[in-house]
Amino acid sequence: MNSPPHSWPVIGHAWAIHLLAQALNSGRVAHAYLFTGPEGIGKTTLARAFAQALLCREDTAPCQVCSTCRRVQAGHHPDVWVVEPERGLLRVEQVREVVREASRRPVEATYRVFILTHLEQAHPAAANALLKTLEEPSPRTVLVLTASAQDVILPTLVSRCQTLALRPVPEATLVQALGERGVDPTRARVLARLSGGRPGHALRMMEDAHFWQRRDEAFNLVRTFAESSSRWIRLEAAEQYARQEPETLAEALELLLSIYRDVLVWQAGQSDAIRHVDKEAEIAQLADLLSQEAVRTMAQRIAHVLGQVRTPINVRLALDVLFLHAPSAKTP
């Protein structure tokens, strides 16, 4: 089976694709794999592509056009299971169902592939339930586990898997991939830099019809804070932000953090490293208005609140405090 990297529907990670393709071509596919890396790096995308390559019968697997490849991509193939946490928890019942199914023969393909995502969210009993399948592997069954990092799951699970730690994708690779999807080169650079080399994050921003509007609103808010120390304006902004769902709020705070970060980078004389490359003039103006220490402190406070928005805190109070301390123009 010939599996050239360019046929895999994955942005970047050529080294990982090469290793998996080698295993396929040599017939030495491991029973279990662990893909690690931050959210949006492409772990599940790579896992699906690997499942396609395992099941596709064309010479250039995965071909992306046969019925098998299309059904795997759509989530409709009977021999490929994708199991995700429910409400932030991978439950023992979900894993036990995988264990039962893993003992059965493939329905129509040569392998059965089970992709279990976000294993760091597994209940301890669920993680332990997986050990049985890993210790007594069934022939023609392949497990692909994903996790944010290797050290957040049971060492006994890690030791039974072949681990591939996915790294951020180079900016040029992401810009090219976004360009092939019709994104303007300048905006592609912004998305690539804001994503931190995470293709999934970049694609989500690309597909979000309101992303650029929200970014403009974030810049407007930072500029408003810089030009006015009005407590009323800040508390009103906090109230509006507090109405958002945790995930949406986290994205909004990440945008604010990226703007303050760019101001700091500009103040440090590293203008070529800013992420919002199309907003140089605005960033330069903010860098002149605000003190470096105030910007640094604000960035630290945003990061602190970001780490709490998914926990049961008083979000409104946290945002009140955050925005009341947003930096204003330097006093003469």
**pLDDT tens sequence across 286-325:** 999 999 999 999 999 999 998 887 666 678 888 988 999 9
Q: What is the pLDDT of residue 107?
A: 92
Task: Find the mean pLDDT for residues 205-233.
Answer: 95
Residues 143, 116: contact at Cβ < 8 Å?
yes
The pLDDT of residue 35 is above 90: yes
* CA 103 and chain centroid, separation: 32
The pLDDT of residue 34 is above 90: yes
- In whole angstroms, give the CA distance from residue 92 to residue 127: 8
Q: What is the pLDDT of residue 138?
A: 82
Q: CA 11, 13, 18, 24 torsion: positive or negative?
A: negative
The pLDDT of residue 272 is above 50: yes
Task: Find the mean pLDDT for residues 38-66.
Answer: 94
Q: What is the pLDDT of residue 1?
A: 46
| Alpha helices (H) in the chain, listed in sequence order | 14-26, 43-55, 67-74, 92-102, 124-135, 155-158, 171-180, 185-195, 199-207, 211-227, 231-242, 246-267, 280-289, 292-306, 315-324
One of 1.10.10.10, 3.40.50.720, 1.20.272.10, 3.40.50.2300 is the CATH number of 208-324, namely 1.20.272.10
Domain layout of the chain by residue ranges: 5-165, 208-324
Give 3's pLDDT tier (boundaries 50, 70, 90).
very low
Per CATH, the number for 5-165 is 3.40.50.300
Give 279's pLDDT tier (boundaries 50, 70, 90).
very high
Task: Find the mean pLDDT for residues 10-19.
Answer: 96
